[in-house]
Chain A
Amino acid sequence: MARKYREIGKAGWGYTAITTVVGLIYFFPVLWIILTAFKTRTDALAVPPKLFFTPTFDNFVSVFYRSSITTGTSQATDMALYFFNSIFIAGVSVTAALIVGTLAAYAFSRYPLRGNDTYLFIILTTRMLPPIVVIIPIFLMFRLSGLAGSYWGIILLYTAFNIPFSVWLVKSFFDELNPEIEDAARMDGASERRVFFRFCIPQILAGLSATFVFGLILTWNEFLFALLLTGVETRTVPVAMARTMGGEVGVDYGLLAAIVTLFLIPIFFVTFLLQNQLLRGVTFGTVKK
């Protein structure tokens, strides 16, 4: 039987086709980056731009290894170090911020202080500030204390950078819990510590992991702090990428594309798995649904 009308709010495979076309157009720049990652240097800068070419994995290899012309052996590139730096710095600071932020979020949600909203407002404002506003004094501070260029300095800074985000996001998850369960647990004689670890934390584990992942992406992507406060040894991937732009030998787009493409893999997982939390994540927990 031919359907002459559609039920409200639903669409079929034809609609999927339309949205896929629109989606692909929107996705095109990313697609181009992925394609570039598989191009040789000549193909990447071919005129006219090449859509079809023989793919190569050389770019991915050269992210991590460079074969020395003189000895013929391959050795790890600096980029491998920068990848390690990015992951290490982001991992440590996001974990620290999540722990500290979760405790604070729990307090803001369950034991409101006098001036609770003011604290929350100040916390959010520090996140909304352009990094450039804070970085001038921080730069001076790091220079004086010798923290500039060290892991500890940048980790401490990124922890601070992630705390507002963690506090707001985690608080939004705590706010959604039904406090009656906690009260019931208290009536049954559970200590405050037990209430927190046995009842509250397990219920927001999904939210905590979402916060962790968003924090990782935000920190991984951060550029300005890293540009000004990391040294040769602690340089992160975005800084390394930006630095290749000014080179005299010409920009190795294939290599850059390979770096971006590598990072796309976790991003795809995140956007797929955390799609329902995405809105909350990108608005720092201020908009829930």
Chain B
Amino acid sequence: MTIELKKLTKRFGSLTAVEAIDLDVGDGEVLCLLGPSGCGKTTTLRMVAGLEYASEGDVFLQGKRVNDLAPRDRNVAMSFQFYALYPSLSVAENLAFPLHGEGLSKSEINARVQRISDTLQLGGILNRTPGQLAEGEKQRVAVGRSIIRDPNCFLFDEPLSRLDVQLREEMRGEIKEVLQDLSKPTVIVTHDQLEALTMADRIAVMRDGRIEQVDTPHNVFQRPSNLFVAGFIGTPQMNLIPATFTALHGDDTAEFAVEGGQTLTVVVDPAIKTLAPGAKVTLGIRPRNLEISTEPVADGLSTRIDIVEPMGAETLAHMNDGHHDLRLVTDWRVPLTEGEQAHTRFPPGTTHIFTEDEQVLRTP
């Protein structure tokens, strides 16, 4: 393990920004800290860098405890949300800046700047100052400056948040490519799930200073471990329907009652066995898993089509049964008319069950 956080905690006065976080990032691994603003992800990153003290717990870099080391002694590279390019220096000087402390010769510095500028295609702008750069160029320079040294790890704070959509897509790929070559542990802080899903090897979803789930992008999406992750990851948001577990048929076919009197019989994870009938649960199903049916079905709810929002290749429909708003995404060719009755179907194995303590019910 090259970055290891043990029970890491940060308090600002009476406010606990980060609470007892355990996390490790291996060599060459890209870990994304993902969460809504104010969840403590940036504070965590800054504690790794040393820009913030840990109130409790430890930070290990390359196996060495670094809690009491100043940022400069931790040998980390970091790119800041606002890029933190030195406004009075040219791009080339910005890139060379971290090398001055390394005791390198002038020619060696120039060679490295050249190499980075080749990798990130900065050749044309080396003599400009940050004020003259476009956002995307600033971003590139910031990345360049952070990878020019040979640090213990790389830290990125919201690297793409200031770019427009198109540029963001472009840079995502570019950064991913650069990071793959570096084979260093990397932590990226982001509030954008798409960024996390595309760039990370693993994602740590945070809420209110705690880590809710650490897993691969695929698992975070497909196998959310609790209600928060289920609701936070994925757009449109997962449908979450409060229900009462009423009966079990066979191994994994369960019957639920929802508000408004309708019942629903769906094939779910066998772990449902552990629940006693009458238990309150929350059913979760992704809008893209919901199916539409013209006939009423046992494994679905009867609804009315409230609003239809065409999204290009797909259509998002808001279905309402009088008590719940269900989001459903379907192929654009499926005809949907606002105000008409329609029936939604919960296909087998697509419904997640969350118990009253908001944890998922799933066989490991």
Interface set of A (CB-CB < 8 Å, partner B): 1-5, 7-8
Residues in B with CB closer than 8 Å to A8 are 51
Q: Which of B43-81 contact A (CB under 8 A)?
A: 50-53, 67-70, 73
Q: Which residues of B contact A2 (CB under 8 A)?
A: 68
Chain B residues touching A, range? under 10
CA distance A7 to B71 in the complex (A): 9
A3 contacts across to B, CB distance below 8 A: 53, 68
* Contact present for B68 and A5 (CB under 8 Å): yes
Cβ contact within 8 Å between A4 and B68: yes
Which of B50, B68, B69 gathers most chain A CB within 10 Å?
B68
Question: What is the minimal beta-carbon distance from A84 to any residue of chain B, in angstroms?
Answer: 50
Which residues of chain A are near B67, meaning CB under 8 Å?
1
Distance to closest chain A CB from B183 (angstroms): 29
Task: Report Cα–Cα, A3/B54, bound state, in Å.
Answer: 11
Give Cα A159 to B216, complex, Å.
73
* Pairs of residues from A and B, 7 with the lowest C-beta to C-beta distance, nearest first: A5-B70, A4-B68, A7-B53, A7-B52, A7-B51, A5-B69, A2-B68
Bound form: Cα–Cα A15–B68 in Å: 20
B interface secondary structure, majority: loop
**Contacts A5-B68, A7-B51 known; 11 new A-B pairs at CB < 8 A:** A1-B67, A2-B68, A3-B53, A4-B68, A4-B69, A4-B70, A5-B50, A5-B69, A5-B70, A7-B52, A8-B51
- Give the distance in Å from the alpha carbon of A101 to the alpha carbon of B53 in the complex: 50
Q: Which residues from chain A contact B52 at a C-beta distance below 8 Å?
A: 7
Query: Measured between alpha carbons, how far is A80 from B70 in the docked complex, in Å?
Result: 61
Closest CB-CB distance, A106 to chain B, in whole Å?
34
**Alpha-carbon gap, A1 to B68, bound state (A):** 9
Chain A residues positioned under 8 Å from B69 (CB to CB): 4-5
In the assembly, what is the distance between CA of A7 and CA of B70, in Å?
8
Q: What are 17 A-B contacts defined by CB distance under 8 Å? A: A1-B67, A1-B68, A2-B68, A3-B53, A3-B68, A4-B68, A4-B69, A4-B70, A5-B50, A5-B68, A5-B69, A5-B70, A5-B73, A7-B51, A7-B52, A7-B53, A8-B51
Shortest B74–chain A CB gap in Å is 10
With CB as the reference atom, state the residue of chain A lying closest to B52: A7
Contacts of B68 in A (CB 8 A): 1-5
* Most B CB within 10 A of own CB, among A2, A4, A5: A5
CB distance from A87 to the nearest CB of B (A): 44
Q: Smallest Cβ distance from B53 to chain A, in angstroms? A: 7
Residue of B nearest to A8 (CB): B51
A7 to B51 alpha-carbon distance, docked (Å): 6
> How far does the Cβ of B52 sit from chain A's closest Cβ, in whole Å?
7
Q: How far is the CB of B18 from chain A (nearest CB, A)?
A: 15
Q: Which residue of B lies closest to A5 (CB)?
A: B70
* Assembled-state Cα–Cα distance A5/B67 (Å): 10
Kindly state the separation between the CA atoms of A1 and B9 in the bound complex, as whole angstroms.
14
B135 to chain A, nearest CB (A): 26
Q: Which of chain B's residues has its CB closest to A2's CB?
A: B68
Q: Which residue of A lies closest to B55 (CB)?
A: A1
> Which of B50, B53, B73 neighbours the largest number of chain A CB atoms within 10 Å of its CB?
B53
User: From residue B88, how far is it (CB to closest CB) to chain A in Å?
Assistant: 19
Tell me how far the C-beta of A7 lies from the nearest C-beta in chain B, rounded to whole angstroms: 7
